[in-house]
Amino acid sequence: MSEKLNELKEKLGEVSDLGSAAALLGWDQQVNMPSGGAEARGRHMATLGKVIQEKFTSDEVGRLLEDTKQELSGADADSDDAAMVRVAARNYDKAKRVPTEFVVEQAIVSAKAFEAWIEARSKSDFSIFRPHLEKVVELVHQYVSFFPPADHPYDILLDDYEPGMKTSDVKAIFEPLRTKQVKLIKAISSRKQVKDDFLHKNYNEKKLWDFGVDIVTKYGYDWTRGRQDKAPHPFEQSMSVNDVRITTRYEKDNPIALIFSSMHEAGHAMYEQGINPAYERTSLANGTSLAVHESQSRMWENLVGRSLPFWEHFFPKFKKTFPSQLDGVSLKSFYKAINKVEPSLIRVNADEATYNLHVMLRLELEIAMVEGSVAIKDLPELWNTKMQEYLGIIPPNDSMGVLQDVHWSGGAIGYFSTYALGNLVSAQLWEKINKDVKNLDDQICRGDFSQLLGWLRTNIHQHGHKYDPQVLVEKVTGSRITSEPYVRYLTKKYSEIYGL
Amino acid sequence: MSEKLNELKEKLGEVSDLGSAAALLGWDQQVNMPSGGAEARGRHMATLGKVIQEKFTSDEVGRLLEDTKQELSGADADSDDAAMVRVAARNYDKAKRVPTEFVVEQAIVSAKAFEAWIEARSKSDFSIFRPHLEKVVELVHQYVSFFPPADHPYDILLDDYEPGMKTSDVKAIFEPLRTKQVKLIKAISSRKQVKDDFLHKNYNEKKLWDFGVDIVTKYGYDWTRGRQDKAPHPFEQSMSVNDVRITTRYEKDNPIALIFSSMHEAGHAMYEQGINPAYERTSLANGTSLAVHESQSRMWENLVGRSLPFWEHFFPKFKKTFPSQLDGVSLKSFYKAINKVEPSLIRVNADEATYNLHVMLRLELEIAMVEGSVAIKDLPELWNTKMQEYLGIIPPNDSMGVLQDVHWSGGAIGYFSTYALGNLVSAQLWEKINKDVKNLDDQICRGDFSQLLGWLRTNIHQHGHKYDPQVLVEKVTGSRITSEPYVRYLTKKYSEIYGL
């Protein structure tokens, strides 16, 4: 390895170390920090962020990137070093385009917008949030202006989360999907609804927690390189490939969501735990995109965790753990209940059949905001119109409508689509896995997930950020991201459950 | 405030922010980190430490310190700004004298010495640790050489923990103290030993934990700005004056130590929580020295927590919590048991009467090492000789002797004396408090600690690092650090308990 490459790796390694420190500060803020610590923590994170930005965008890093790119231009483009430099150079170019003052202004505007959103949601009064959202969108326009013109301004935003993906790609994927999902939901709604009252009884939190731990341990989540804590909103956080933590929560009115959150976050975490350890401290040491990340979490939560084979294995023990709650409930009834389809107002609680429609709705509004084709003041009404159109229900107030998600308050515009893309990728991978791994259902029935995890390790996890998402998906499945496997998956699953 | 002063505060504020981040990394390492994360965490801390060192010792900070010192030279020397600049300049001067390569080498040597110490202790084989300790002491000599000659080379080391304190000061304080403590212990050993078998029964951890929480809550530890966790070794860690955390532990063979550790660490924490919030992000936002810090922890643990009035309040509830363990045990017997004096091998478990002797022994060995008047290979024997002389017992092996403490392996030579000095200061303050606060015993009997905490807040806590320890102690008590109040305290307490 050349001296310059070594030097570059050391510089970027330090940036990565500081990023890991920042990650821990964020994790602690959600999990442990006493309320009094919030203000100081904000400052600590701002200072650390500034140092990271300074170190990463230094002229020295720029020169080393240029030099190593040249050095590697003749080398194997598929080598780890080439990928590392390519990804780092792309991130560097983006970071350089955005002035530090802008980053600071955006942080301030977001902080205020977040406060306003909290109040607006609690009072269900969009007018409180509106001026802040206008400012947020103004900054988004400014952000876009730092980059060379793209086919669509939304491309710039999307690219930060889904490298290489275009707005037109997403639209082309979602257009046919929406029609099919709406049709599926209509078909389901004409059938007899499944019973799920037994899921909403009183379930002991500690017992659910232990059951979730048991499941993700069987999945292959490595506790010597992770831990699980409680947090208001479940999330996964990686401090290094050897320290990847998950969180979950107990909701009184939806208790068993606790174990599905554990499965979901463990899906994210096993991805990070499976990255080639040689990538540690480089630009390759994370999942390649939000969509591919979400494909992992949704696979372990839904394709595995809400499948019949899975519960064939776990239901007897689950019933033993909660005998009174599940008295007289058969495996089949339980399976149907955890897969109940019901158009609902809140995305995070939506079932597999309706979830993507929530996402598409937001994507359409985001694109309209970025294009300037909708005035911010008209968002609540547009939201409700689309809810009626896609899901057949209208929110009784804006708290349960346009104000329900935190994302826009934080200036995070551009990544909603990755939630739905993740579902699609999960099904795409699933079809391929079931070709490669014989009798996967039988293995799952036995509580054996080792071949499944092994396949994911080999085909997805180890590569980290080496391949762009579309490249990786095509490399593994033979096709770029497409909705067909997911539609096949949904149709088959719900045809059986609802007798379509 | 001048522009330069503002600029300096902002620069030092950033250094402080990064220091807080480093503090959290350290806290997490002890409390939460999965074992797999250790290697990466070491790197994160090293990089963060390097950035802090770079930022703090930058030429810009040096210039700003010079300029502001000049600006403030005519101003009130007792002003917060003057103190802030004075302390920062002193720290800057020290940091500048120590080359970064030395810091790195010391970190590497310490890491290896620590590993060797672990092995040596487990095998009770000093020869494994010896070459590493020799290297550590060599680096200590090198460290001393970076500074202008002092009266005694050990002064340089001591000054890092106890600013302004000289080796000769400590010797002058300890010399008469040792004689008196040895005499006291001999007197006690001729009396009938107190019974404490009931302290070593099986106590439920959760109940002890809750009891400790109850106590420190009554003390005034602010949970909205702190939290308590389990850790292998109890410690306190401050991330800001509004985020000061404590830890404790459960030891099977000494279960009730859990609540005394909570009291001890809460004593440290209340000091940090009580610092003037205007000092946040400045060089004044910490306790002024290890000895003054220890005076707070030992006061709440011992002068309060092992006093008769304290247990007059808490014993009835404690007995109700552990009825079978304390069946037939009177308040008086319990009080005597928790104050049992018994020369023992291990410092951390030593009682109040013998503790200081453990410390003096180490101090004498440290001074000898720094002077070069003892060869490292002779340490084990010297240790045992002194144990015999001061405490009348000889360790059966080096694990329980010279290898018992972690400090030297980490290169931390120079701060053992602060443990004993803290005891002395605690008694000095206690005499003054009891002059200023009428009927303090009665208040403690009622479980009311508000006036005590109020006094400490006003006289000690709020000042943070503004006054050097000796200055502060003299300002508050009228005298510099002295052993007399502590000897009076011990003599009175044990005369009553052992009927001397």
In chain B, % of residues over pLDDT 70: 100
Which of B17, B21, B40 is the closest to A242 by Cβ? B40
* CB-based burial, A213-237: b 16+ in 10 Å, e otherwise: bbbbeebbbbeebbbbeebeebbbb
pLDDT of residue A2: 87
Average of pLDDT values for A478-488? 97
Closest CA to B239 of A386, A28, A226: A28
> What is the set of active-site residues of A?
265
CA B372, CA A149: separation in Å to the nearest integer?
Answer: 71
What is the SS3 assignment for A229? Answer: strand
pLDDT of residue B114: 86
Residue of B236, B241, B243, B281 to mutate, interface with A, max A Cβ within 10 Å: B243
Distance from CA of A50 to the nearest CA of B (A): 10
Cβ of A21 within 8 Å of Cβ of B44? The answer is yes
Cβ of B224 within 8 Å of Cβ of A36? The answer is yes
Distance from CA of A20 to the nearest CA of B (A): 7
Q: Is the Cα torsion angle B382, B383, B388, B389 positive or negative in sign?
A: positive
Distance from CA of B133 to the nearest CA of A (A): 30
Q: Which pLDDT tens digit goes with each residue over A130-139?
A: 999 999 999 9
Does residue B343 contact residue B391 with C-beta atoms inside 8 Å? yes
- pLDDT surpasses 90 at B500: no
How much is the mean pLDDT over chain B? Answer: 95
Q: Which amino acid would we find at residue B490?
A: L
CA B326, CA B317: separation in Å to the nearest integer?
Answer: 11
Q: Chain B within 8 Å of A104 (Cβ-Cβ)? A: no
Average of pLDDT values for A349-372? 95
Report residue A64 as tokens.
């080393």
Which of A20, A40, A241 is the closest to B239 by Cβ? A40
Q: Which chain A residues are within 8 Å of B281, Cβ to Cβ?
A: 43
In terms of CA atoms, which chain B residue is nearest residue A50?
B14
- pLDDT surpasses 80 at A350: yes
pLDDT of residue B107: 83
pLDDT of residue B355: 95
B165-171 LR contacts (CB < 8 Å, sep 24+):
B165/B289, B165/B291, B165/B421, B165/B469, B165/B470, B167/B367, B169/B470, B169/B481, B170/B363, B170/B417, B170/B421
pLDDT of residue B108: 84
Partners of A229 in the beta sheet?
A247
How much is the mean pLDDT over chain A? Answer: 95
Q: Is B265 a catalytic residue?
A: yes
Q: Which amino acid would we find at residue B435?
A: K
pLDDT of residue A73: 87
Q: Which chain A residues are within 8 Å of B225, Cβ to Cβ?
A: 34, 36-37
pLDDT of residue B330: 98
In terms of CA atoms, which chain B residue is nearest residue A48?
B18
Strands B243-248 and B228-230: parallel
pLDDT of residue B75: 79
Closest CA to B174 of B197, B163, B150, B158: B158
Does residue B383 contact residue B402 with C-beta atoms inside 8 Å? yes
Cβ of B17 within 8 Å of Cβ of A43? The answer is yes
Q: Which pLDDT tens digit goes with each residue over A363-413?
A: 999 999 999 999 999 999 999 999 999 999 999 999 999 999 988 988 889
CB–CB contacts below 8 A, A to B? 124
Which of B37, B51, B239 is the closest to A243 by Cβ? B37
Strands A236-240 and A228-230: unpaired
CA A222, CA A208: separation in Å to the nearest integer?
Answer: 19
pLDDT of residue B274: 98
In chain A, % of residues over pLDDT 70: 100
Cα B60 to its chain centre, rounded Å, is: 34
Cβ of A51 within 8 Å of Cβ of B18? The answer is yes
- The C-alpha R_g of chain B, in whole angstroms, comes to 23
- pLDDT surpasses 70 at A1: no
Distance from CA of B344 to the nearest CA of A (A): 37
CA B256, CA B233: separation in Å to the nearest integer?
Answer: 15
Closest CA to A182 of A496, A490, A485: A490
In terms of CA atoms, which chain A residue is nearest residue B39?
A242
Q: Chain A within 8 Å of B240 (Cβ-Cβ)? A: yes
Average of pLDDT values for A232-255? 95
Average of pLDDT values for B231-259? 95
Cβ of B34 within 8 Å of Cβ of A224? The answer is yes
Cβ of B17 within 8 Å of Cβ of A44? The answer is yes
Cβ of A35 within 8 Å of Cβ of B224? The answer is yes
Chain A neighbours among B 23-52 (CB < 8 Å)? 24-25, 28, 32-37, 39-41, 43-44, 46-48, 50-51
Q: Chain A within 8 Å of B265 (Cβ-Cβ)? A: no
Which of A14, A25, A47 is the closest to B47 by Cβ? A14
Q: Chain A within 8 Å of B218 (Cβ-Cβ)? A: no
Cβ of A242 within 8 Å of Cβ of B21? The answer is no
Cβ of A36 within 8 Å of Cβ of B225? The answer is yes
Q: Which pLDDT tens digit goes with each residue over B82-116?
A: 999 999 999 999 999 999 889 888 888 888 898 89
Q: Tell me the CA end-to-end span of chain B in Å, nearest whole number.
A: 60
Cβ of A43 within 8 Å of Cβ of B223? The answer is no
Which DSSP symbol is given to A304?
I
- pLDDT surpasses 70 at B1: no
Chain B neighbours among A 277-306 (CB < 8 Å)? 280-281
Q: Chain B within 8 Å of A226 (Cβ-Cβ)? A: yes
In terms of CA atoms, which chain B residue is nearest residue A40?
B240
Q: Which pLDDT tens digit goes with each residue over B161-184?
A: 999 999 999 999 999 999 999 999
Which DSSP symbol is given to B300?
I
CA B20, CA B38: separation in Å to the nearest integer?
Answer: 19
Cβ of A222 within 8 Å of Cβ of B32? The answer is no
- pLDDT surpasses 80 at B53: yes
Q: Which chain A residues are within 8 Å of B245, Cβ to Cβ?
A: 34
In terms of CA atoms, which chain B residue is nearest residue A277?
B40
Residue of A223, A230, A243 to mutate, interface with B, max B Cβ within 10 Å: A243
In terms of CA atoms, which chain A residue is nearest residue B50?
A14
Taking CA atoms, A70 is separated from A5, A65, A80, B90, in Å, by 11, 9, 15, 47
Which of B40, B226, B227 is the closest to A20 by Cβ? B40
* Sequential DSSP letters for B410-429: GT--S-HHHHHHHHHHHHHH
Cβ of A18 within 8 Å of Cβ of B226? The answer is no
User: Is the pTM above the cut of 0.80?
Assistant: yes
Average of pLDDT values for A180-189? 93
CA B459, CA B295: separation in Å to the nearest integer?
Answer: 13
Catalytic residue from among B265, B272, B294, B366: B265
Average of pLDDT values for A174-190? 94
Average of pLDDT values for A6-15? 97
Distance from CA of B297 to the nearest CA of A (A): 22
Q: How confident is the model at residue A349 (pLDDT cuts 50, 70, 90)?
A: confident
